[in-house]
Amino acid sequence: MAAPRKLDYEEIFALRKSGMTYREISRKCGSYTTFIGKICRENGIKPYGGYGRAQRKKDQIDIVLDYIVKNGGVLGRTLKKLDIDLCPETVRTAATRRGINLRDYYHFGKENKNWRVAQPGHTRHETGYVQVVGTCKHCGHKQEMRVTSIDISKTAPVCHRCGGLGHGKL
Ligand SMILES: [Zn+2]
C-alpha cells in the first residue's frame, strides 16, 4: 500500500503565491481546503501583489457600485455592460453594507432634451406610476414628474419655472 503523500509546504506556498485558490491547491496536493488556508494564513503566504481572488472580487464590486452611483442603471444590465462576472446578490449585499440602495439608481441619470434625473430615488404615485425628481437642463429647477415622461417623451413636461426654454419665462 502506498504511503499517503507527505504534504510539501513549500510547494503549497509556491502555488498560493502564484495565485491559485485554496481549493485548487487542495485538489492538486490532496489536502483539505481549510487546512491549506490555515497554513497559508499562519505563514503569511499571499498571492504576489496581494492580488488574490478576494481582492479582485472586491475591486470588481467597487467598479460596479461606482458606475451605478455615477451613472445610474439596473444592476443586471450594468454587470453585462461592464462585462463583470459577479453574482448580483453579492453586489447587492455589498451595496447594502455601504448604505447604497440600488433601487434608488434605477432611473437615476435618465434624460431627455429638457430634463435629467439628477437625484437618486423615486416614489410611486398613489395612482400607480413611478415618479422621479427631474432637474431642468435650462434653469436647474427641480420638479416631480412621471419617469415615463423622461423615458418616452423627448421634451415633456414643461418646466414650472422657465417653460423648458431657458428664458426665465414664468
Ligand atoms: Zn427650467
pLDDT for 170: 40
* Residue 3 CB contacts under 8 Å (≥ 6 apart), including other chains: none
Q: Given pLDDT bands bounded at 50, 70 and 90, which one contains residue 20? A: confident
Q: How is residue 153 written as a grid cell?
A: 417623451
Q: What is the 77 CA–ligand 1 centroid distance (Å)?
A: 31
Greater confidence, 131 or 162? 131
CA distance 114 to 144: 14
Q: What is the 69 CA–ligand 1 centroid distance (Å)?
A: 25
Whether 58 contacts 50, CB under 8 Å: no
C-alpha 52, offset from chain centre: 19
Q: What is the 122 CA–ligand 1 centroid distance (Å)?
A: 20
- Structural domain boundaries in the chain: 9-50, 53-101, 107-170
Q: What is the pLDDT of residues 63-87, one digit of tens each?
A: 999 999 999 999 999 999 998 889 9
Q: What is the 12 CA–ligand 1 centroid distance (Å)?
A: 65
Q: What is the 100 CA–ligand 1 centroid distance (Å)?
A: 29
Q: What is the pLDDT of residues 41-56, one digit of tens each?
A: 999 988 776 566 777 8
Residue 131, pLDDT > 60, answer yes
pLDDT for 47: 78
Q: What is the 155 CA–ligand 1 centroid distance (Å)?
A: 12
Mean pLDDT, residues 145-169? 78
CA distance 5 to 33: 16
Mean pLDDT, residues 100-125? 94
Mean pLDDT, residues 103-111? 95
Q: pLDDT averaged over the chain?
A: 87
Q: What is the 136 CA–ligand 1 centroid distance (Å)?
A: 5
pLDDT for 4: 52
Q: Given pLDDT bands bounded at 50, 70 and 90, which one contains residue 162? A: confident
